[in-house]
């Protein structure tokens, strides 16, 4: 009996099974990747600051939006990311920053304080969409 006639169909079936296993594993990896990508996007909230009130002569205008994608410092000094031409703002007044999946505001020991929803900020305070931040006469709304 010639074994080659018996081996050829077995090898053919084996090759087909291996191809199906490879395709199945590739689809499973792609599914897990797509599924985990959706979770990462849903956990990351993107916030911004909308300018809602400024002093006359400010470089900011009502309606301007400042994205919060890194640490943002606010104050009168030129090396702040957001420069406030406000006589009641300190040189380095406050900072707003993301940490993990949350956003925070922190007063930097300013002379006149930072208000969050009409209350003085003490330490690091978490932000929510719709919160209002006031530095001197300048007001921002947290948007997302």
Overall number of domains in the chain: 2
| 93, 85 contact by CB (below 8 A) | no
Q: Are residues 87 and 118 in the same domain?
A: yes
* Domain endpoint, select from 43, 62, 77: 43
Q: Are residues 106 and 58 in the same domain?
A: yes
Q: Are residues 38 and 78 in the same domain?
A: no
Q: Residue 3 pLDDT > 80, yes or no?
A: no
Residue range(s) defining the domain that contains residue 78? 47-143
Q: Are residues 61 and 127 in the same domain?
A: yes
At 15-66, the pLDDT tens digits run: 999 999 999 999 999 988 887 765 555 446 789 999 999 988 888 999 999 9
Q: Residue 141 pLDDT > 50, yes or no?
A: yes
Q: For residues 141 and 144, give the distance between their C-alpha atoms in angstroms, rounded to a whole number.
A: 10
Q: Residue 88 pLDDT > 90, yes or no?
A: yes
Instruction: Report the Cα–Cα distance between both ends of the chain, in Å, rounded.
Output: 76
Residue 3: CB partners within 8 Å, gap ≥ 6?
A: none
What integer best gives the mean pLDDT of the chain?
Answer: 90
> Of all residues in the chain, what percent carry a pLDDT higher than 70?
94
Q: Are residues 70 and 126 in the same domain?
A: yes
């Amino acid at each position: 009996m010639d074994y080659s006639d018996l081996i050829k169909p077995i090898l053919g079936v084996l090759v087909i099974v291996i191809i199906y296993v490879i395709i199945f594993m590739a689809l499973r990896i792609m599914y897990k990747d797509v599924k985990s990508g959706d979770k990462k996007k849903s956990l990351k909230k993107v916030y911004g600051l909308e300018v809602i009130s400024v002093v006359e002569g400010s470089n900011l205008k009502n309606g301007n939006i400042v994205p919060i994608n890194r640490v943002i410092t606010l104050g009168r000094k030129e090396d702040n990311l957001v420069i406030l031409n406000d006589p009641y703002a300190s040189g380095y007044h406050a900072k707003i920053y993301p940490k993990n999946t949350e956003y925070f505001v922190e007063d930097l020991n300013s002379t006149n304080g930072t208000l969050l929803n009409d209350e003085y900020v003490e330490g690091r305070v978490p932000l929510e969409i719709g919160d209002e931040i006031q530095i001197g006469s300048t007001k921002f709304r947290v948007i997302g």
